[in-house]
A and B are shown apart, each in its own frame.
Chain A
Amino acid sequence: MTTLPQIWVVFAKELRDGLRDRRSIRSVLLTAALSPVLFGGMFTVMAERAKDAWEVRLPVAGVEYAPTFVDWLKQQTGVEIVPAPADPEQAVRDRKEDVVLIIEKDFSENMARAIPAPVKLVSDSTRESARKKVERARRLVTTYSSQLAALRLIARGVAPPVAAPVEVQEVEVSSAQERLASQLNILTLLLVIAALTGGMQVAIDTTAGERERGSLEPLLLSPVPRWVLATGKWLAASAFGCSSVVFSMALTVNVLRRVPWEDVGIRFRVSDADLMSLLALVLPLVLFLSAVVIFSSTFARSFKEAQGYLGILILLPMLPGVVSILYPLSNRPWLAPVPLLGQYALAADVLGGQPPKAIFYILAGVSALACAVLLLVLVARLLTRETIIFGR
């Protein structure tokens, strides 16, 4: 008998066994559901913040000292002027207010004498969540100030540009899509986590579980080469991993399409082609990751022992994810042959709107597959060890 049907026999059995295992179904569903929830939550919060910054509720103290200024503020879109708390500094310190504008007593007098009129902006720079609101408040004050300055210059017969010898023109090199991509990279991380955990249950059950139950010895008594057994089990674990990735992707995209992007000022522009590209990256990675899990849990005598090893392993996909947040992996397609890192790098380019050439996908996929095959060869060797066959 040729080995191909035998691989199929092992694969079909492990698939059926896995589908009857509530734990493996649960791990597929849970990881798939986890990412859209996290992702949707994260972006909704981002969108809310952006909205907050635009629709600013600004407590102002000393309204009576600068009625014209306050009237102007009230006319600005999205600005709501409210009375300031009695002790503004304490209120900001206690996080009751994000920012408070204090107009000083001599505002009108200074204004009339054309010397700088004092206002105080009370904020806490350690509070990341209030940053945009504070910026908006500061911008409001400087806008008012420069408008007034221009009027004063005109009144004195001076053209306003004279007072602005240098003008800064911002040149933003990253596209809006790229800036979004740095956030969207989390999508890659979540997909990789789904890839690892989706098939993990089956991978452990068919290796360490087989040893724990005492069914490994009977299995190895059948006239089947060890690599055939390893391959069938690996394919079954990969099938679970792949379905977890596809499932997770479908759910996440569904959620992403519902996020109020216009509030963040970006149009969600991840096309179906981009999503297919991501799948083309992550699905071959599943083959590698399930081989890693199969390999490491073959050493384990029991389910629990295997889970102990995998506790460390689960940090692995997070690592490039964390790296890519601190040190962007985009525009580094030569990383393609390095499993995990390569996928993150290429995915960053896809999400950044600069899809890499097809050859890099092939390189990443072939490399992941080659590493998986190497691990399976090692698994097949492990399965000839007496300490593994009989050690329980």
Chain B
Amino acid sequence: MIEIRGLRKRFGTVEAVRDVSFSASDGTVVGLLGPNGAGKTTTLRMLSGLMRPDAGTIRVDNADVAADPIGVQARMGHLPESRGLYPRLTPIEHIEYFGRLHGLNGPALTARANALVTRLGLNESADRPVSGFSQGERTKVALARALVHQPRNVILDEPTNGLDVMSTRAMRDLIRGLRRDGCCVLFSSHIMQEVSALCDRIVVIAQGKVAADGTPDAIRNLTGRDNLEDAFVALVGLEAEEIL
């Protein structure tokens, strides 16, 4: 359960996030949709507690991120924009390192790491250092280490970026699986099909503001367009005209 109210963030003279409010409840997938530079990543960074908002509140499972960032991080699995790995460690070692940082250990950790490796299809390369991995494999390792502690809230920043068709499908299956398990999934994307295929709700962000918030159907109705992509263009374009 994630609740965001009146979020603002300014970098120098640039107002990256002006006024963002939305919520995501358990067992649903919420898509954060917006063009590049709309403020999606900044919003997610504030949600993770690594960036302090200028104004607004963020609550995860009723805990305030600003008051207890570490407590919130323990309940959250976050695939951030930067997915750097340790080139000399294997996928299993990555997963186990982050598992231990989350307080897991022993057979439970080993079982969890093996389960993730299997679920993400990393079995063949599980014991090889990640230095020679493809973009898709890297994303999988980064995802596995974010999910090692079985978080109830999962935040994915452009999870299918750089993935091929098969990996994208696997990612979608994984997100659906998380929803079935009752997780609250929030992911950002600028790809329309992805959002329409997966999301229970869509939050459209443009120019640092929420332009629309609702089910895919509701958004289509709002703009009077049948096609979600047209609806998106209409929403984002509207904002741009207002600015001009």
Pairwise interchain contact A215-B86, C-beta atoms closer than 8 A: yes
Contacting residues of chain A (207-227) with chain B, CB-CB under 8 angstroms: 210, 213-218, 220-225
Q: Which one of B46-54, B159-167, B224-232 is at the interface? A: B46-54
Number of interface residues of A (CB under 8 A): 26
Pairwise interchain contact B50-A222, C-beta atoms closer than 8 A: no
Given contacts A223-B101, A223-B102, A389-B50, whether A218 and B88 have CB atoms under 8 Å apart is no
Pairwise interchain contact B102-A218, C-beta atoms closer than 8 A: no
* Chain A residues whose C-beta falls within 8 Å of the C-beta of B89 in the assembled complex: 13, 16-17, 20
Pairwise interchain contact B88-A213, C-beta atoms closer than 8 A: no
Pairwise interchain contact A221-B80, C-beta atoms closer than 8 A: yes
Pairwise interchain contact B52-A222, C-beta atoms closer than 8 A: no
- Specify the main secondary structure of chain A where it touches its partner: helix
* Chain A residues whose C-beta falls within 8 Å of the C-beta of B101 in the assembled complex: 6, 9-10, 222-224
CA distance A17 to B78 in the complex (A): 23
In the complex, whether B5 has a CB less than 8 A from a CB of chain A is no
In the complex, whether B146 has a CB less than 8 A from a CB of chain A is yes
Given contacts A222-B102, A389-B50, whether A214 and B82 have CB atoms under 8 Å apart is yes
* Chain B residues whose C-beta falls within 8 Å of the C-beta of A220 in the assembled complex: 50
Per a CB cutoff under 8 Å, which of B73, B85, B88 touches A221? Answer: B73
Pairwise interchain contact A1-B50, C-beta atoms closer than 8 A: no
CB distance from B223 to the nearest CB of A (A): 34
In the complex, whether A390 has a CB less than 8 A from a CB of chain B is yes
In the complex, whether B103 has a CB less than 8 A from a CB of chain A is yes
Pairwise interchain contact A218-B83, C-beta atoms closer than 8 A: yes
CB distance from A387 to the nearest CB of B (A): 10
Pairwise interchain contact A223-B70, C-beta atoms closer than 8 A: yes
In the complex, whether A392 has a CB less than 8 A from a CB of chain B is yes
* Chain B residues whose C-beta falls within 8 Å of the C-beta of A224 in the assembled complex: 70, 101
Per a CB cutoff under 8 Å, which of A9, A10, A21, A386 touches B88? Answer: A21
Given contacts A17-B88, A218-B142, whether A390 and B51 have CB atoms under 8 Å apart is yes
CA distance A17 to B83 in the complex (A): 18
CA distance A218 to B142 in the complex (A): 8
CA distance A217 to B87 in the complex (A): 16
CB distance from A91 to the nearest CB of B (A): 62
Q: Mark A379-392, 1 if CB is under 8 A from B, else 0.
A: 00000001001101
CA distance A17 to B129 in the complex (A): 11
5 tightest A-B CB contacts, nearest first: A214-B84, A215-B84, A214-B82, A213-B84, A222-B101
Measured CB to CB, the residues of A under 8 A from B are 1, 6, 9-10, 13, 16-17, 20-21, 210, 213-218, 220-225, 386, 389-390, 392
